[in-house]
Amino acid sequence: MKSIEISARTVAEAVELALAQLGKDRDEVAIAVLEAGEAGEEALVRVAVVDEDDDEFAPAAESPADVQEIARQTLDDLLTRMHIHAYITPVLVRVPGQKGNIEETVTLHVEGADEEAMGLLIGRRGETLRSLQFLLNLLVSRRVQKWPQVVVDVGNYRQRRQESLEGLARRMADRVRQSGRPIMLEPMAAYERRIVHLALRGDQSIYTESSGEGENRKIVIYPAR
């Protein structure tokens, strides 16, 4: 399964760039929006070439069903094949979306595995967890005939990481205010940079910008002009 990640000013531009690079049409790929381009960030999408023959997990297409249960069963199958024994608790959240529609997000909380297995699933800076989540959404989309919104959290990693980043953002903002000099943070994934941007968005004494390319993209916190 070949996939690429592309960033651009908008989601539409990123998708078009990815399609051109892959040489595919829209009906030949699965598209996941990793970053919608909010809070001063570029949009980031992951586009995967869909090949019916290269995925042993993918069942035949069927009518729309309960995404929550399909996602849970699919993740359980993936973990079993990885020889990881854990408990999966699905949580369905419904929130108002655009144009008055209701958007559903399923979060699958993975608990009960040993510490080594949990670390394996999360990976360095959550990279393996993001890849697992993308793969799961791709597999579920084959069953429900649309791209689902399924989030995978292992050992409450996402919540702990968000709280850690928000705390880091506030501490570094304090240093910038005290010193009057900008501070550059370590490289972060797009969703992590968004957390930092949003944590400091209401602070009028500083402002944030992203600098660099790809995996080396970082946030810089500046004192207000």
The CATH number of residue 206's host domain is 3.30.1370.50
Q: Supply the range of the domain harboring residue 179.
A: 159-223
Kindly state whether residues 38 and 130 are assigned to the same domain. Answer: no
Kindly state whether residues 132 and 164 are assigned to the same domain. Answer: no
From residue 142, give the alpha-carbon distance in Å to each of 49, 114, 138.
Answer: 13, 31, 7
Closest by Cα among 182, 133, 134, 189 to 165: 189
Count of domains observed in the chain: 3
Domain finish residue from 112, 129, 155: 155
What are the tens digits of pLDDT across the range 163-220?
Answer: 999 999 999 999 999 999 999 999 887 778 888 998 998 889 999 988 887 677 889 9
pLDDT of res. 98: 46
Q: Which amino acid is located at 121 in the chain?
A: L
Kindly state whether residues 173 and 146 are assigned to the same domain. Answer: no
Domain finish residue from 134, 155, 176: 155
Buried b (16+ CB within 10 A) or exposed e, 128-141: ebbebbbbbbbbbb
What are the tens digits of pLDDT across the range 97-108?
Answer: 544 555 667 889
Report, as an integer, the average pLDDT of 78-93. Answer: 89
Q: 112 — phi, psi (to 5°)?
A: 95, -15
pTM of the shown model: 0.62
Kindly state whether residues 76 and 133 are assigned to the same domain. Answer: yes
Closest by Cα among 139, 147, 127, 97 to 191: 127
Longest dimension (CA), the chain: 60
E strand or H helix at 69:
helix 67-81
Q: Answer yes or no: is pLDDT of 64 > 50.
A: no
- Residue with more model confidence, 83 or 10: 83
